[in-house]
Amino acid sequence: MDSATEFERLRPVMFGLAYRLLGSAAEAEDAVQDAYPKWAGADHGSIASPRAWLAKVVTNLCLNRLTSARAQRERYVGPWLPEPVLTSDDVLGPLETAEQRDSVSLAMLVLLEQLSPVERAVFVLKEAFAYSHREIGEILDLSEVNSRQLHSRARRALNRSDERRASNPRHLEKLVESFLSAARDGDLPALESLLTADVTAWSDGGGKATAARRPVHGAAKVARLYAGMFAGAGQVSIRIGEVNGGPAVIATAGGALYGILGFEIVDGRISGLRAVANPDKLAFLSRQLSRSGWPAGS
């Protein structure tokens, strides 16, 4: 297999890694592309594992990007949310377990913003890609002991318990369908029954689309917010698709992707809603929908 073919074979793995590290599909694509010149100029005869070699290159490219990305996100207008990605085509790698799905959820990607760049890298390499601490140490130029310490620190910071991970995708989809039906009908009691008491809704418009600039808290307020939103949807087409490993509401209007709404579910109820309407963040997903034969305006 020639080097260019090998790189293309490993591109999905590299993209999945870069996306988890950056929370941006556009930046992840750039990081993977930036890795190619390094790969093309390498002595391939001395590379025992192309996958591990490229993981090191891509991870370090992402670490460089994370520092500047953090400064940009501090100046972001309103809540910052990751770029949504359609995952029904395995673009981020297999999502066969609850842990794998959780690793790409909008909720987890937001939580990862709390970590330092190196903590985030250790956590992603261990949790999402099952690298050993020895391998992670080689990728990040750390000792095995330091890798273990950083992983433990990251887990404590995220406080991500197993109970938060839903294990039945079909149950999640039914819950989202019930939410969508109640919102369309303006049925506030039904909507509130699907939400946890302390539910929070975030909206990311980035100053480029209409969106609340502060989170909305509480079942009653969130129910009113979405009942009103869907009542005024007009000619917007609404459907459910798999985004970031879970069912999400995808809205299109006038032949273009209008926004997505993702859900965080705990113990069978919706505890978080994340809406992305910033058109810059919808470009990747829009291309995915077009390639999948799901025209935006249909």
Q: Could you tell me how many residues make up the chain?
A: 298
| pLDDT of the residue at 273 | 98
238 touches 257 (CB < 8 A): no
Residues 198 and 132 in one domain: no
Residues 138 and 72 in one domain: yes
| pLDDT of the residue at 3 | 87
Distance CA 66, CA 62 (A): 6
Residues 140 and 211 in one domain: no
Between these two residues, 71 and 220, which has the higher pLDDT value? 220
Residues 213 and 275 in one domain: yes
Helix, strand or coil, per DSSP, at residue 144: helix
Indicate whether 84 belongs to any domain: no
Percentage with pLDDT > 90 across the chain: 72
Q: Residue range 256-277: average pLDDT?
A: 94
What does the pLDDT look like over 178-216, one tens digit per residue?
999 999 999 999 999 999 999 999 999 999 998 889 999
Residues 124 and 200 in one domain: no
Residues 7 and 74 in one domain: yes
Residues 58 and 122 in one domain: yes
Q: How many structural domains are present in the chain?
A: 2
| pLDDT of the residue at 86 | 95
| pLDDT of the residue at 297 | 43
Query: Looking at this protein, which amino acid is placed at residue 104?
Result: V
Distance CA 190, CA 278 (A): 29
pTM value is 0.92
| pLDDT of the residue at 283 | 96
Residues 185 and 285 in one domain: yes
Residues 171 and 155 in one domain: no
Between these two residues, 195 and 161, which has the higher pLDDT value? 195
Give residue 184's domain range. 166-291
